[in-house]
Each structure stands twice: as structure tokens, then as C-alpha cells.
Amino acid sequence: MQQPTVEKEYTIADLTRQIGNYLRYVRKKFWVLILAGIIGISLGLVYYFLIQKPKFTGAASFVLQEKSSSSLGSFAGLASQLGLDISGAGSGNSLFAGENILEILTSQHIIYKALLTNVNGDTGNGPKLIDRFLEVNKMKERWADKKALAGINYFNVSSADSLTPLQDSVMQIVYKGVTKSLSVEKSGKKTTIVLVGFTSTDTMFARRMPQLVISEAAIFYINVKTTLIRKNVEKLERRADSLLLVLNGRSYNAADLRILDANPAMRTIRVPEEIAVRDRAVAGTLYGEVVKNLEIARMTLVQETPLIQILDVPGKSLTNFKRGKLVCMAAGIFVFGMLGAMFLFFRWLKVRARQ
């Protein structure tokens, strides 16, 4: 009959004795920990001087001031008489509300426009920020074996609509890399101040990217907010110009038909003149009403245009977030010290099993 196995029980005294044995073994092999520490210090210095790249962060902030659309109701009736619609002019009020602003600032539309901005700030053809990104991150060097990718550039690209399929594919890769280094957050839950930061190994890129993102987002928001009113203003301007031409024509016609020495006996001889004067008066009244509504529409456009004020911009001297020498050395000592301790622990278990 097989005897049942009896599990060995360990007491606290046994555990304390084993720990003491392990520490005595470590004391004998302390040179292993010293060697591990020297290796850790050496690799920490190698990382600090040769591997680690300096990282610079540029930060910008802006405040969004919405303008009230409560006065639009008083203009809507007047505008509707001329076939204009300003009832939806305030529909973009919630566009930058809540978390929407954070999504807009990191959207492809905004980032693409920022990346396709000329490096030197000029317009037209020339190296773009995305070309600088590819150069700084040495992406073309990694694509050296692919001729099409190694020679890609965006010098002649003015907008995302003119991208070739290959350029668009690279742009999507760059977009993912940019969004990882781009930080967008509000300074508080109840404030309208938004902070935009960008971290890069290139100071110029870190300085310009937050400002460009804010500028492109501001242009996009203002266009969405005021497109309808602007179209109404343009329509009224065209109508006012055409009525002015009609009014001038009626004025010349009335002057041509005026008879200074008309025969009183011929009563109908002044009828064409009276008709011309009446037409001029009607044209003048219509022109006056259109001009009045044009000024109202212009006032509405000014009132509904939001104010996006940039508060802070990155300075010429950016903070370098490179880890310090002591931090790298301490990290190396800690990591390799732990590895050395684990090595000695398993060696001690092996020696103990042989005994």
C-alpha cells in the first residue's frame, strides 16, 4: 500500500534562515553586483551621449470668444423680404463646444493644411513642413531601397486635393506620427482657453506646428461660422451694384426726356418725362432699401465673426526635455543591479539544490 506524501511545512524561522543564507551568498559574490552596476553606468552614459536625442516642446494657447446671436432675430425679418436667410447663421455655435475643439485641432483637415505650409512661410512652391518632418525623422533614409519613396517631396503641392496616391499614403503615415507628438487640452473644464503643444527633436518644427494648427483651426471655424452671412452680403452687394446701374440709367433717361420749353397746349408731351422720373424714383427707393439691408448684413457679419485670440506662442528658446546624465546612470544601475540580483538568486537556488 502506497504511503501518502507529507508536505513539508516552513516556518518563519526557516524563511528567515534561508534569507540569511542567500544574503551571505550575495556577500561572497558581491563583485557580480559591482560589475552589473559598472555595466549599468556605462550603458546609461552611452544612452545619454549617443542614443538619446534632445526633445523640444513648443506650446501655444488661445481663447475663443463667442459673440451672441440673440440680435439676429431682429434682422431676420428684414432679410427675408429680400429672399435672404440668416436664421442659420448661429448654427456653428456648438462647433467648438465641449470636446469638439480637441477633435478639430487634431483632425486630418487641420494637420494636412499645417504640414503643407511652406517652411519659410512664403506662398507657392517650395519645401513644406512635411518635407522637413521626413528629413528630421530620417524617413527617406529608411526608404532608400524604394526609389519612389526615397525621392518623394511636396514642393509643388499646394493643397490636399492635389496629392498623388503615393503622396497621400506618406501623408497619412506622417499624420499618425504628428498626432502622437501633438497635445491638445483645455486649461480647465469651465474655461475656453485651449493649450496646444508639440514635441520634436527639431526646434523649428516644435515652434511652428502649434501656431499653424491654431491658425488653420481658426480659419476653418470662422469660415463655418460666417459662410451663410457672407454669402448674403455678397448677394446684396451684387444686387446693389445692379440697381445702381439701373438708377444711373433712369437718371440719364429722365434728363434726356426733360423738355424745357414745352407747348402748354400739348399736354401729353410731358408724359415720357414723368414716366422716366417715376422710374428713377422707384429705382432710387429700391436701391436705398437694398443698401440699408446690405449694411445690416455687414453689421451681422461683424457681430457673428468669432474672436480667436492667441495668448501665448512658443519662444525662440524652447525647453529641452533630454533626460539628465545622473538620471540615465541611476536607471542603468537600477536595471542592471536588479538583473545581477536575479542572477545571483537563481545561482543560489542551483547551489542549494545540489547540497
Whole-number Å distance between alpha carbons of 195 and 312: 9
The CA-CA-CA angle for residues 170, 171, 175, to 5°, reads 120
For residue 231 the three cell numbers come to: 454669402
Cell numbers 463667442 label which residue? 66
Cell numbers 555595466 label which residue? 39
Q: Mean pLDDT of all residues in the chain? A: 79
Q: Is the pTM of this model over 0.85?
A: no
Cell numbers 428684414 label which residue? 78
Whole-number Å distance between alpha carbons of 301 and 84: 14
Whole-number Å distance between alpha carbons of 171 and 163: 9
Whole-number Å distance between alpha carbons of 195 and 183: 8
The CA-CA-CA angle for residues 181, 183, 184, to 5°, reads 150
User: pLDDT per position in the chain (355 positions), as tens?
Assistant: 455 554 556 677 777 887 888 788 888 888 888 888 888 888 887 877 777 777 888 888 888 776 555 444 444 554 555 455 544 444 445 555 556 778 888 899 999 999 999 888 777 778 889 998 888 888 888 888 887 787 888 988 888 888 888 989 999 999 998 999 898 888 777 777 888 988 888 888 888 899 999 989 888 888 888 888 888 888 989 999 998 998 888 888 878 777 666 556 566 666 677 788 888 888 888 998 999 988 888 888 888 777 788 888 877 666 676 777 788 888 888 888 888 888 888 888 887 777 6
pLDDT at 7: 54
The SS3 of residue 306 is coil
Q: What is the pLDDT of residues 258-281, one digit of tens each?
A: 766 655 656 666 667 778 888 888
